[in-house]
Amino acid sequence: MEILTELDVHENTLTQDEKNFLSEFGYLNLGKLLSETQVSAINHQILVLMEKEGQKAGAELLDSPYIKHPKEDGADRLADLVNKGEVFDIFYTHPRVLAGIAHVLGQEFKLSSLNYRSAKPGLGLQKLHVDWHEAVAPDRYTVCNSIWLLDEFSKENGATRIVPGTHRSGRLPQEALPDPMAPHTDEVIIEAPAGSVFIFNSHAWHGGTTNRSAKYRRAIHSYFCRFDQPQQVDQSRYIKNETLQRLSPAAIRILGLSINHI
C-alpha cells in the first residue's frame, strides 16, 4: 500500500533471508532498533504511567470484547500506549517492523493494540498459545505481533518462548499438547539485549516463561491485525487529539483511522 511507502517501507527493507526465516520459523530477530537512550526514556515513561494509573493500569483491556484473558496475576500491564506519549510512536511506525508485519499479513493491516507486559519476579509463565481462536491456513494469517525488549531477555528472566514452524502446523497448542504449560522439546527462548525487536507470527505457538530473576522483565507488544478485523483496543474510541496532531496521515492510517479524524 502507498501508506507503507510513505512510512519508508520498501521491497528491500527486509532482506530475502529475513523474509524466508520469518516465513519458515514464524519469528524474526530484527536486531536492536532502540538505542539505550530510547530504552531509558520509554522505561521512564512506563514508570510514570504505572504510578499514575495504579490499580487501573491495563483497564482498556478489560473493556475489550476481543481479549479473552486481559488480566494476569503474573504480570503488570499497561494498554493503549498510542495515547500515552510520543515515545511510543516508533512502535507502530518503524519501517522494519511494518515490513515484517506486511510480510505475514499482506499490505492491508492496522495496529490492533499497543500494550506493555512485565513479568513479575517468580511469575509470568503462560501456556503455549496462539493469539487467534482457530488455526488458519498460511494465506489466511490474521494477526502478527512485534515484541520490543525493554530489558535484556534471558532464560532466567521470563523471556518469551516460541515453537518454530508451528504457525504452519494447522493445529492449536491446546488441542495438540497434553500440557501447554510444560516446556516443549522444540521451543526456542528469545535471548537478546534490551532494545531488540522480534516479529512473531501470532499463529505460531508462543508464551511467556517464568521470571526467575529478582527484577521485573519488561516488554511492549505492538500487535497488528488484518485491516478488516476489529482492533483489541478500538482507536476510534480512544484516540486523543494530541496524538493525531503529531502523526502523519500514513501513521494515522496504521492506527486504523482515516484522515477525517484529523
219 counts as binding ligand AKG under rule CB under 6 A: yes
Interacting span for ligand AKG (CB under 6 A) from 51-59, 95-103, 132-140, 203-211: 203-211
Residues 6+ apart with CB under 8 A from 110: 224, 225, 227, 231, 253, 254, 255, 256
To the nearest whole angstrom, how small is the minimum distance from the Cβ of residue 1 to ligand AKG?
A: 27
77 counts as binding ligand AKG under rule CB under 6 A: no
To the nearest whole angstrom, how small is the minimum distance from the Cβ of residue 25 to ligand AKG?
A: 16
For residue 34, the cross-strand partners are: none
Interacting span for ligand AKG (CB under 6 A) from 59-67, 105-113, 201-209, 244-252: 201-209
- Binding mask 81-120 toward ligand AKG (x if CB under 6 A, else -) reads ------------------------------------x---
Tell me phi and psi for residue 80, to 5 degrees.
50, 50
Total interface residues for ligand AKG by CB under 6 A = 7
204 counts as binding ligand AKG under rule CB under 6 A: no
For residue 111, the cross-strand partners are: 224
* Pairing label, strands 75-78, 206-208: unpaired
167 counts as binding ligand AKG under rule CB under 6 A: no
> What is the Cα–Cα distance from 83 to 238, expressed in whole angstroms?
8
Choose, by CB under 6 A, the member of 64, 93, 160, 222 that binds ligand AKG. Answer: 160
Interacting span for ligand AKG (CB under 6 A) from 41-49, 103-111, 202-210, 234-242: 202-210
Q: In what order do the strands lie in the sheet with 143-149?
A: 27-32, 196-201, 143-149, 217-226, 109-119, 75-78
Structural Rg of the chain based on CA atoms: 17
